[in-house]
């Protein structure tokens, strides 16, 4: 009975998140309420909680405090990692470092700009994650394009390309980061399995969109008076290199990625303070670029992730997620559709689910559903499906949500104009993944 009530709380919380714009309620609020109420009910009614033995695929009863701290620890690793990455990106922006990227776009051709922006989104999202890459590129886009309708189209394609680019990198998307931190995938195998499917997922929609009338002709860029920072290019290279260093640090030390991210942040902070002192002089030394960067971090997104991950953790602790996973596997394990096995169908469906709801809890749930060993192709399929499937609906990914806020993209406009392109890319990339897995890489 109490488990049913907890499920109802979870569903109501999700509905509130999905309809946040209708309710005019920031999604972090229902996420935090949902998390607190669910764990509160578990504690008050002294429900049995479990730790999942993924090797033996069984539930082991544990004390509530231990299980709660377990999920909080894993959630904190992800949040600290994100805070570090966001701070480095904001520090680069403090020195106007991204102006270097803007200068690369010299053409006025709408089609060429489309390919340049989508390619940049694909590459940058693999380095600085799809959320920050989307923020950077839409900021650049706002300085390049004045036509509102054209900006909406570019922004929509940035979402598709950024999510595709984030899927094959351990630091490119929160979901792939979760799988990496959770020791479900390794860096080398993730890239090996997903780089080509992700490229297909980006290239095919971009090619189709390049034939659309809206991308024909040339743009008339607005006149701007951006001041160039003498340290902009240097801090861009240093900042991006420091983020790339994180997976290298993990390989060397076998420590969680957030440790390497904190080291990178410290190094970037020292260099940024040095650059700022040279620019401002001793009298303005108190204007710290790191303090400025920390003040600009998207804390609502951090708190939303906290709420949603801990809420899913409550379901996992009760064994509900594990039970659902076993049901899905038992239902589809004997299905065989030409190229698709039973688990392939489950993974493919996860991609559509990530378009309807946030992909973070879906991956968190799948990590409790399945007990396959590290680098089993199942995990790479989940990384691809959750990372790219969310592009089909604008609220299905962090990149979509931030683009929606920055460019005021209407939910239905995106569904009518971009969703089909995202679906074509998702389907084509998934098919390529299956073919590579079965006939090339295995």
pLDDT tens figures, 276-333: 988 866 545 457 899 999 988 878 878 888 888 898 889 888 988 777 767 766 777 6
CA 127/CA 240 separation, integer angstroms: 7
More confident residue, 132 or 227: 132
CA 423/CA 442 separation, integer angstroms: 27
pLDDT value of residue 5? 94
Which structural domain range is residue 203 located in? 48-441
Q: Is residue 4 part of a domain?
A: no
pLDDT value of residue 28? 85
With a pLDDT cut of 70, the percent of the chain lying above it is 89
Average pLDDT over residues 95-114: 83
By DSSP bridging, strand 58-62 and strand 49-53 are antiparallel
Do 16 and 30 form a contact (C-beta atoms < 8 A)?
yes
CA 131/CA 177 separation, integer angstroms: 13
Q: Is residue 391 part of a domain?
A: yes
pLDDT value of residue 150? 93
The secondary element (H helix, E strand) that includes residue 340 is strand 340-341
Q: Is residue 20 part of a domain?
A: no
pTM for the predicted model, two decimal places: 0.78
pLDDT value of residue 325? 65
- Tokens describing residue 1: 């009975």
Q: Is residue 279 part of a domain?
A: yes
CA 260/CA 187 separation, integer angstroms: 15
Listed in sequence order, the residues at least 6 apart from 21 whose beta carbon sits closer than 8 Å to its beta carbon are 411
Helix (H, G, I), strand (E, B) or coil at 24: coil
| H helical segments located in 145-231 | 148-167, 174-181, 187-210
Q: Is residue 114 part of a domain?
A: yes
Distance between alpha carbon 54 and the CA centroid of its chain, in Å?
A: 25
Average pLDDT over residues 222-244: 81
User: How sure is the predictor about 380, in pLDDT bands with cuts at 50, 70 and 90?
Assistant: very high
Q: Inform me whether the pLDDT recorded for 21 exceeds 80.
A: no
User: How sure is the predictor about 388, in pLDDT bands with cuts at 50, 70 and 90?
Assistant: very high
Q: Rounded mean pLDDT of the chain?
A: 85
User: How sure is the predictor about 7, in pLDDT bands with cuts at 50, 70 and 90?
Assistant: very high
Q: Is residue 344 part of a domain?
A: yes
More confident residue, 349 or 72: 72
Q: Inform me whether the pLDDT recorded for 225 exceeds 70.
A: no
Q: Inform me whether the pLDDT recorded for 82 exceeds 60.
A: yes
Top mean pLDDT of 14-23, 73-82, 201-210, 387-396 is at 201-210
Do 201 and 117 form a contact (C-beta atoms < 8 A)?
no
C-alpha Rg value of the chain to the nearest Å: 22
Q: Is residue 252 part of a domain?
A: yes
CA 389/CA 372 separation, integer angstroms: 22
Number of domains comprising the chain: 1
Q: Is residue 303 part of a domain?
A: yes
Q: Inform me whether the pLDDT recorded for 431 exceeds 70.
A: yes
User: How sure is the predictor about 342, in pLDDT bands with cuts at 50, 70 and 90?
Assistant: low
Phi-psi category of 431—alpha, beta or left, where left has phi over 0 and alpha has psi -120 to 50? alpha
User: How sure is the predictor about 181, in pLDDT bands with cuts at 50, 70 and 90?
Assistant: confident
Per mean pLDDT, which range of 191-195, 209-213, 246-250, 420-424 is the poorest?
A: 246-250
């Amino acid at each position: 009975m109490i488990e049913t009530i907890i499920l109802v709380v979870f569903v109501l919380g999700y509905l509130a998140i999905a309809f946040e714009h209708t309710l005019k309620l920031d999604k972090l609020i229902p996420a935090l309420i949902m998390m607190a109420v669910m764990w509160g009910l578990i504690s008050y009614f002294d429900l049995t909680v479990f730790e999942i033995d993924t090797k033996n695929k069984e539930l082991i009863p544990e004390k509530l405090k231990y299980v709660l701290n377990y999920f909080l620890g894993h959630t904190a690793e992800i949040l600290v990692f994100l805070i570090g990455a966001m701070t480095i990106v904001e520090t680069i922006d403090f020195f106007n470092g991204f102006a270097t990227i803007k200068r690369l776009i010299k053409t006025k051709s709408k089609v060429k700009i489309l390919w340049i922006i989508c390619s940049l989104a694909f590459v940058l999202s693999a380095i600085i994650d799809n959320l920050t890459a989307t923020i950077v590129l839409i900021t650049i886009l706002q300085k390049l394009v004045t036509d509102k309708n054209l900006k909406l189209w570019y922004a929509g394609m940035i979402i598709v390309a950024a999510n595709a680019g984030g899927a094959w990198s351990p630091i490119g998307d929160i979901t792939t980061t979760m799988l990496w931190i959770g020791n479900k995938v390794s860096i080398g195998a993730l890239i090996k399995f997903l780089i080509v499917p992700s490229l297909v997922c980006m290239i095919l929609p971009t090619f189709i969109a390049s034939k659309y009338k809206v991308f024909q002709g040339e743009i008339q860029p607005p006149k701007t008076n951006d001041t160039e920072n003498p340290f902009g290019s240097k801090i861009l290279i240093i900042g991006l290199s420091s983020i790339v260093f994180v997976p290298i640090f993990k390989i060397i030390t076998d420590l969680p990625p957030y440790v390497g991210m904190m080291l990178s942040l410290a190094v970037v902070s020292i260099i940024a303070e040095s650059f700022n002192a040279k620019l401002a002089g001793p009298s303005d030394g108190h204007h710290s670029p790191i303090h400025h960067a920390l003040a600009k971090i998207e804390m609502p997104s951090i708190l939303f992730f906290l709420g949603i991950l801990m809420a899913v953790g409550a379901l996992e602790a009760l064994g509900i997620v594990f039970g659902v996973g076993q049901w899905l596997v038992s239902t589809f394990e004997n299905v065989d559709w030409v190229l698709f096995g039973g688990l392939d169908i489950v993974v493919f469906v996860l991609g559509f689910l990530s378009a309807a709801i946030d992909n973070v809890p879906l991956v968190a749930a799948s990590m409790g559903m399945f007990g396959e060993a590290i680098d089993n192709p199942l995990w790479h399929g989940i990384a691809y499906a959750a990372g790219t499937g969310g592009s089909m609906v604008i609220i299905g990914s962090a990149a979509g949500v931030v683009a929606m806020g920055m460019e005021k993209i209407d939910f239905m406009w995106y569904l009518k104009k971009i969703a089909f392109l995202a679906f074509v890319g998702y389907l084509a990339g998934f098919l390529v993944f299956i073919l590579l897995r079965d006939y090339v890489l295995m």
